[in-house]
Amino acid sequence: MPIDLNSLTIDSVRAAIAAKQITASSLVEQFYRKIKAEDPEIHAYLTLCEDRAAQRAKAIDDMVSRGAALPPLAGVPIGIKDVMVTKGVRTTAGSKVLENFIPPYDCTAVTRLEAAGAIVLGKMNCDEFAMGSSNENSAYGPVRNPRDKSRVPGGSSGGSAAAVVASTAVATLGSDTGGSIRQPASFCGVVGLMPTYGRVSRYGLIAFASSLDHIGPLTKTVKDAAILLRVIAGRDPLDSTSVDMPVPDYEADLAKPVMGLRVGVPKEYFGEGLDPEVRSAVEAGIAKLRSAGCEIVPISLPHTAYAIPTYYVIATAEASANLARFDGVRYGYRTKGARTLSEMYRKSRDEAFGTEVKRRIMLGTYALSSGYYDACYLKAQRVRTLLTRDFEEAFQKVDAIVTPTAPSPAFKLGEKSDDPLSMYLADIYTVTADLAGIPGISVPCGKTAAGLPIGLQVLGRHFDESTVLRVATAVERP
């Protein structure tokens, strides 16, 4: 029986399958028809995994027919950003380096999703190695924003955000190193959650910057984000940075009132460079929180001005080290006709890496080089500590912090391609949370006069995603 794919949420899918209103197999078939008809114009998907999805759907249908208890994501069609490895399914990280790479194992987050009954439809387009703020750096072509196809969807998880708003997946997973879940969520008008560093295992995530990378959900509602987070969160012995802490029932916590919560508004996030329409929409969201009984507290995060340079030293330094493994020897692209080993290294990397990835490798290698390590990398790590202390001191006074997600709505395709600095500044409000390792979420809070979505960002204490989700729910309510 056909079903309206545009209105589906995790709850509604599971309920429809449990009530036998639709089978998981027929739902998957409907999604693939929609993807094949509509996605070529958006380009959110890089690879489909139809056989894998069909097998998973049949397993769910067998459970229904036996009357077995259904897992929490039974039959929910989900897309996975193409920086998370999937056994037997091509994983490219948006790069020519990995154009034909078929991983031999699954990312832990994917394993947990499928164990909970989710059905992976395919792999989502993204900026190459997650390096970008517009999804124009993908080696396979840009993603277009379904809200306005002349504009970017944000990056680097642009495909993940675009698929949710286009309803070619019920929900998706993205990764966030400097804003790559929250900024595209803002540009596309969906919910994007970055958990605390260590809350979700990074095993199987192709590394960009290992001390900054996070995996998190992009969804239509805050409730769906809470459901997905509970499934993928928790200690993983395969990732030494994952933390052994109890995982709350985030969905149940959404019912707790926000009345009495102290919400901080940092003056540094409302200064020069903030689009007037974004400011107005975020201020309206703050007013909604005040009406819900929150106490709005002006605060200061004094080292915010140093966040972008700090981020682009640390992130590029870690990228330089992580991407050294793509050398044309063990796996990935190898040039043809090189006469010496050093020529093979050089040509393989030169031919397969894109411009932005090369730029970041060079920046990072410079920051780590002899004579510049102390002046660049070490100093950036010290400033990172100051930024983290800013948040720790603020959270002694407030329960959550509210800011704009991005300084502007989605910009035009090609508008910032030749201006890397301008592109980097698109992450000015998001990189601080990655540097401090705290959780953050972007939730839609309005639109511009031209109908472009605007996101409001909620930041919280380490491992206090429950409060972040509760505040986001209060913003989300009509």
- What are 351-399's pLDDT values in tens digits? 999 999 999 999 999 999 988 999 999 999 999 999 999 999 999 999 9
Q: Do 100 and 352 touch, CB atoms closer than 8 A?
A: no
- pLDDT tens series, the chain, 478 aa: 578 999 999 999 999 999 999 999 999 999 999 999 999 999 999 999 999 999 999 999 999 999 999 999 999 999 999 999 999 999 999 999 999 999 999 999 999 999 999 999 999 999 999 999 999 999 999 999 999 999 999 999 999 999 999 999 999 999 999 999 999 999 999 999 999 999 999 999 999 999 999 999 999 999 999 999 999 999 999 999 999 999 999 999 999 999 999 999 999 999 999 999 999 999 999 999 999 999 999 999 999 999 999 999 999 999 999 999 999 998 899 999 899 999 999 999 999 999 999 999 999 999 999 889 999 999 999 999 999 999 999 999 999 999 999 999 999 999 998 888 888 888 999 999 999 999 999 999 999 999 999 999 999 999 999 999 999 999 999 8
What is the biggest distance separating any 2 CA atoms in the chain, rounded to whole angstroms? 71
Q: Give the span between the Cα atoms of 160 and 219, in whole angstroms.
A: 9
Strands (E) in 340-439, as ranges, are 400-404
Residue 81 to residue 172: CA distance in whole angstroms: 7
Amino acid at 226: A
How far are the Cα atoms of 200, 365, 366, 406 from residue 371, in angstroms, in the given order? 36, 12, 9, 35
- Asked if residues 224 and 10 have their Cβ atoms less than 8 Å apart, the reply is yes
What phi and psi values does residue 407 have, to the nearest 5 degrees?
Answer: -75, -15
Q: Is 211 a catalytic residue?
A: no
> Whose structure tokens read 């919280």?
460
At residue 343, φ and ψ (nearest 5 deg) are -65, -40
Task: Say if strands 171-176 and 77-81 run parallel, antiparallel, or are unpaired.
Answer: parallel
> Which listed residue (95, 175, 180, 466) is catalytic?
180
**Catalytic (active site) residue 267:** no
- Match 């009406």 to its residue by tokens: 291
Q: Which two tokens stand for residue 9?
A: 């949420």
Burial class (CB in 10 A: 0-12, 13-18, 19+), 146: buried
19-23 LR contacts (CB < 8 Å, sep 24+): 20/64, 23/57, 23/61, 23/64
High-pLDDT (> 70) share of the chain, %: 100
81 classed as catalytic: yes
H or E segment and range at residue 423: helix 420-424
Kindly report the CA angle at 110 between 355 and 245, in degrees rounded to 5?
Answer: 105
Of 1, 119, 111, the C-alpha closest to 60 is 119
- The letter for the amino acid at 273 is G
CA distance linking residue 297 with residue 315, whole number of Å: 32
Domains and CATH numbers, the chain: 1-301+389-478 (3.90.1300.10), 309-374 (no CATH)
Q: Which of 95, 133, 156, 466 is catalytic?
A: 156
